[in-house]
Structure 1
Amino acid sequence: MPKLSIIIPCYFNEANIPVTTEALLLNEARFPSEVTFEYVLVDDGSGDGTVAALRAFQERQPGKVRIVELAGNVGSYNAIVAGMAHATGDCNVIITADMQDPPELMVAMYQYWQQGIKLVIGNRQDRQEDAITKLLARVFHGLMRRFALRNIPRGGFDYVFFDRQIREQIVQLQERNSNVFYLMTWLGHAYVNIPYVRSRREIGRSRWTLSKKVKLFLDSFLSFSFFPIRAISAVGISLGVIALLYGCYLVLLRLSGVQEPAGWTMLMVVLLFVSAFQMMALGIIGEYVWRSLDAARNRPLYVVKEVREPSNS
């Protein structure tokens, strides 16, 4: 009897929990009768009544709900790793608590898993969101495909169905400042991509702020690409060649007796440009160095405050 672990990170989702869990319970009827279900709900340091809503759901569904309450907010991706560490299913699925992803897609994902596919990706072909959000998402995933991971699907994804083996491999990695979904594709397992349209959020407001989106981009890009470092080297070499050629030009002018151009304005522009490039290069290198330092500290990705195990009563 295969067990499916449904992993849901929760952050300020008090109003979403009753609706989401009811939809997931109704979705169970679409699966074959031999499938059993386990819900792993991770509270990522919410400041509202999310934990109370999770406990109410656990009381209504004894024996199949595990609540992992984290001591503080560590970000949705670290919360997902915490959920994976406490999941026990033969197969797993990650879905958000805001009901923007269709639960019924899990059935097709499960069918692919039965065929031996270890990773099934629900790919956002389109999204019912504002134009700016769509544009930022398109640019983000386009850069990732072009300069980091060429094997990821277009449009982005955070709705995945995967085998226990992948779950164990991700938990074992314990990688910091990264993207848990891109890590799954980085492992190299063949995957199936199922496109869908992501719905608009109907309940509550998103806590996915611009600063969090920028951090996600930096974490994802720097974790899987050395392009920024190589770009610095390429620009540095180009500037060096230009400086060498200009130096040769000035030497030729001096040898020929021609007065060199004054060029005070040009000199200042070049100086400011090179200085700005150096500061930018130091910032990029600093991002890599900081990530190395953070990994060397070996601090835990999350701290568990309490785990409420399923009750058999």
Structure 2
Amino acid sequence: MPRLSVIVPCYYNEDNIPITVRELVANEARFPTEVEFEYVFVDDGSGDRTLEVLLEARAQYPDRVRVVELAGNVGSYNAIVAGMAHATGDCMAVITADMQDPPELMVQMYDHWLKGFKLIIGNRQDRQETGLAKTFAQTFHWLMKHLALSNIPDGGFDFVFFDRQVAEEVLKMHERNSNVFYLMVWLGYPYVNIPYVRRKREVGKSRWTLQKKIKLFIDSLLSFSYFPIRAISVVGLLLGIVAMLYGLYVIGLNIFAPQAPTGWTTLMVVVLFVSAFQMIALGIIGEYVWRGLDASRSRPLYVVKNTYGNEVSR
């Protein structure tokens, strides 16, 4: 009898939780009757009534709903890892608490899992969101596809269905400052891609700020691509060639036109340009060094304050 664990990271989602629980439970009717369900809600240090509402949902469905309360806010990806560590299912799914992703898509995902696929991706073919958020998301995933992981689907994704084996491999890596969904693709398992249109958020306000989006982009790029370091090398080589040519020009000028005025403006432009490049290069190298230091500390990705249910930690 297969068991499906649905992992839901929660952060300031007190208004969403009742709707999310209702839709997830109603979605069970679309599955074969032999499937067992487990819902692992992870409270990522919310400062509102999210935990209280989750405990109310657990009281309503004590045989299905489990709650993991983290001691502080560690980010949605670390919260997902915490949910994976406490899930007991043969297969798992990750879905957002705001119900922008259609839970009914999990039925198709489950069918592909039964056929032997260990990773099934719900790919955002389009989104009902507009404005800067949509533009940023599209740019982010385009850059990641062309600079880091060429085998990820277009449009991005954070709605996935995967086998326990995938979860165990991710948990063994203890990856820090990374993207848990890209890690699943990086493992190399063949995956199925199911496109869908992401819904517009109807309830509550997103806490996915621009600062967090920029951090995610930097973390994802540095975790899966050597492009920034390679770009430094290429630009440094080009600057070296330019400097050599300019040096030859200055020597020739002194030999053939010793009375010519010195090019102070040109020299200052070159110095400022090279200095700016050096500072950017040091910043990029510093990002890599900091991540190495952060990993060497071996601090936990999250701290569990309380668990509510009979979940088994792995």
Query: Shorter-chain TM-score: what band?
Result: over 0.9
Deviations 1:45-66 (A, max 9, x none): 0011111111111111122221
**Paired residue for 1:59?**
59
**Paired residue for 1:90?**
90
In structure 2, distance between residues paired with 1:274 and 1:260: 25
In structure 2, distance between residues paired with 1:79 and 1:180: 10
After TM superposition, the structure 1 = structure 2 runs for residues 148-167 of structure 1, keeping only pairs within 5 Å, are: 148-167=148-167
**Paired residue for 2:276?**
276
After TM superposition, the structure 1 = structure 2 runs for residues 286-297 of structure 1, keeping only pairs within 5 Å, are: 286-297=286-297
**Paired residue for 2:108?**
108
1:158 partner letter: D
**Paired residue for 1:262?**
262
1:205 partner letter: K
Deviations 1:102-121 (A, max 9, x none): 01000000000000000000
In structure 2, distance between residues paired with 1:61 and 1:247: 76
In structure 2, distance between residues paired with 1:2 and 1:247: 71
Deviations 1:76-103 (A, max 9, x none): 0000000000001000000000010001
In structure 2, distance between residues paired with 1:36 and 1:14: 26
Q: Report the CA distance between 1:257 and its aligned residue.
A: 4.6
In structure 2, distance between residues paired with 1:259 and 1:8: 75
Classify the secondary structure of the residue corresponding to 2:41. strand
1:183 partner letter: L
Q: Report the CA distance between 1:265 and its aligned residue.
A: 1.1
Q: Report the CA distance between 1:17 and its aligned residue.
A: 0.5
Deviations 1:12-34 (A, max 9, x none): 00110000000000000000000
Q: TM-score, normalised on structure 2?
A: 0.97
In structure 1, distance between residues paired with 2:300 and 2:19: 32
Cα pair 1:58 1:310 within 8 Å, conserved: no
Q: Report the CA distance between 1:169 and its aligned residue.
A: 0.6
In structure 2, distance between residues paired with 1:21 and 1:109: 19
Check 1:232–1:260 CA distance in 2 against 1; reply closer, same or farther (3 A cut): farther
Q: TM-score, normalised on structure 1?
A: 0.97
Structure 2 residue 125 is matched with structure 1 residue 125: yes
Q: Report the CA distance between 1:258 and its aligned residue.
A: 4.6
Residues matched between the structures, number: 311
**Paired residue for 1:232?**
232
Q: Report the CA distance between 1:131 and its aligned residue.
A: 2.3
In structure 1, distance between residues paired with 2:68 and 2:186: 27
**Paired residue for 2:245?**
245
More displaced, 301-310 or 108-117?
A: 301-310
**Paired residue for 2:49?**
49
In structure 1, distance between residues paired with 2:108 and 2:22: 20
2:239 partner letter: L
**Unmatched 5+ stretches in structure 1:** none
In structure 2, distance between residues paired with 1:14 and 1:253: 73
Q: Report the CA distance between 1:310 and its aligned residue.
A: 4.3
Classify the secondary structure of the residue corresponding to 2:265. helix
**Paired residue for 2:204?**
204
In structure 2, distance between residues paired with 1:87 and 1:268: 61
In structure 2, distance between residues paired with 1:276 and 1:200: 41
More displaced, 99-108 or 61-70?
A: 61-70
Cα pair 1:142 1:154 within 8 Å, conserved: yes
Cα pair 1:44 1:70 within 8 Å, conserved: yes
**Paired residue for 2:81?**
81
**Unmatched 5+ stretches in structure 2:** none
Q: Report the CA distance between 1:255 and its aligned residue.
A: 3.0
In structure 1, distance between residues paired with 2:293 and 2:222: 14
**Paired residue for 2:144?**
144
Classify the secondary structure of the residue corresponding to 1:221. helix
In structure 2, distance between residues paired with 1:209 and 1:134: 13
Deviations 1:216-247 (A, max 9, x none): 00000110011011111111111111111111
Cα pair 1:78 1:301 within 8 Å, conserved: yes
Classify the secondary structure of the residue corresponding to 1:42. strand
**Paired residue for 2:21?**
21
2:224 partner letter: F
Cα pair 1:118 1:162 within 8 Å, conserved: yes
**Paired residue for 2:32?**
32
Q: Report the CA distance between 1:172 and its aligned residue.
A: 1.0
1:34 partner letter: E
**Paired residue for 1:185?**
185
Deviations 1:192-211 (A, max 9, x none): 00000000101100000000
Q: Report the CA distance between 1:259 and its aligned residue.
A: 3.8
The runs of 4+ residues in structure 1 deviating greater than 4 Å are none
- Alpha carbon RMSD of aligned pairs, Å? 1.1
